[in-house]
Structure 1
């Protein structure tokens, strides 16, 4: 099951629903992407109305949006907990009977290393998406953040796993994408991924891989915004 295209209204509904889950005194992790941006915007309005929170952004982009919304921003090492993380996804397995139900592919914005750190640390991790991100089986390319000197070696190891790596090129500048951490990104096509947990473990063992974009067993819920409502998946 795949639905083409996600509307601004669907993204807004998902983001605003997640923002309503943020209570006074919460330390919230802020993910990266257009749907999470809707949550940040809604949180900014709530802060203006008196909500007291601290936010830990996952990227330069989410930090900039939070500051523009006048949300108090802090760093991971300055807090003793993250109560709730709100983040988007490029794909979400939506098959309740499948062992991979709720597994994600992230990293379209090349921020998945810090996103995974924040999302895995949080007491509760909520994914916000529109229906176009739902799928029966993950099949997008898996982003790998890699050390610059290791990208060729990592590419060879990915091919041994029957994947096809492509160095992600930047737009607006010559050369590859460089992450906020100063690393490169390999987009690795594996076709349909029937066992994302197994592939995640294999990718994590490759020397030179900083982090990969498979998020397995991390999400607690997915909020799916639609043009006329909202659907919630709890895991």
Structure 2
């Protein structure tokens, strides 16, 4: 138990280090900043709130979920919408895994549809992670998927035809599957064999009834990984004209 607690504290510290790195080095005055969802992002929001106050910066934040919106309110950060600000300087988010080829699987918080929209609307996508997230095998984590309620039975067979098994995601404290901020059902697709993430991302979204999935095959422009007492910054040249 002590070893588990020690590892947990180490990973939380790495999330904080990576978040501090991004907030203090890659966010500038007058930036419009898209912000993802999850435990790592909470550290970033807290740090961003401190920096904005210390430096008297003027920024605008665009949240990917209601959960993130509440965290931004706590940090006294200004909040806008993608309707008002359709082009963002940067989008910052965590991830569930990063493969050796820098493919991301995201969506543990169920907000991946809006996350993917914000990533595509941004000039730069920065990923924050602890050392446990990289590198991982593609099949080590299921692919989250958002499904329209009426299609929940229909999509099972097409997903199976692609080599995946759909399991609905259930949360604590309520009866029934997890529902996204968009009012759709969240599920997870398990693949036992290796697959091409670019092809599977497109094939899943071609199934009627599937709104979006949590594969981000292009990865991010910058990947900032907390590692022990420091951070690794991986900078990649990406062309997002082929959108996420």
Normalized against structure 2, the TM-score is what?
0.89
Provide closer, same or farther for how the CA distance between residues 116 and 5 of structure 1 changes in structure 2, counting only shifts above 3 A: farther
- Given that residues 131 and 225 in structure 1 are in contact (C-alpha distance below 8 angstroms), is that contact kept between their aligned partners in structure 2? yes
Aligned with residue 14 of structure 1, among 10, 18, 36: 18
**Unaligned residue ranges in structure 1 (runs of 5+):** 95-100
Matched residue SS, 2:232: strand
- Given that residues 30 and 36 in structure 1 are in contact (C-alpha distance below 8 angstroms), is that contact kept between their aligned partners in structure 2? yes
Alpha-carbon separation, structure 1, partners of 2:91 and 2:10:
22
How do residues 1-235 of structure 1 correspond to structure 2 at under 5 angstroms? Answer: 7-20=11-24, 21-49=26-54, 50-94=56-100, 101-139=101-139, 140-235=141-236
Count the aligned residue pairs.
227
Shift of 1:124: 0.2
- Given that residues 5 and 132 in structure 1 are in contact (C-alpha distance below 8 angstroms), is that contact kept between their aligned partners in structure 2? no
Alpha-carbon separation, structure 1, partners of 2:8 and 2:102:
19
Alpha-carbon separation, structure 1, partners of 2:228 and 2:192:
30
Shift of 1:4: 9.2
Give the root-mean-square deviation of aligned CA atoms: 1.6
Matched residue SS, 1:8: helix
**Unaligned residue ranges in structure 2 (runs of 5+):** 1-6, 237-244
User: Which piece of structure 1 moves more, 47-56 or 191-200?
Assistant: 191-200
Normalized against structure 1, the TM-score is what?
0.92
Shift of 1:221: 1.3
Provide closer, same or farther for how the CA distance between residues 150 and 40 of structure 1 changes in structure 2, counting only shifts above 3 A: same
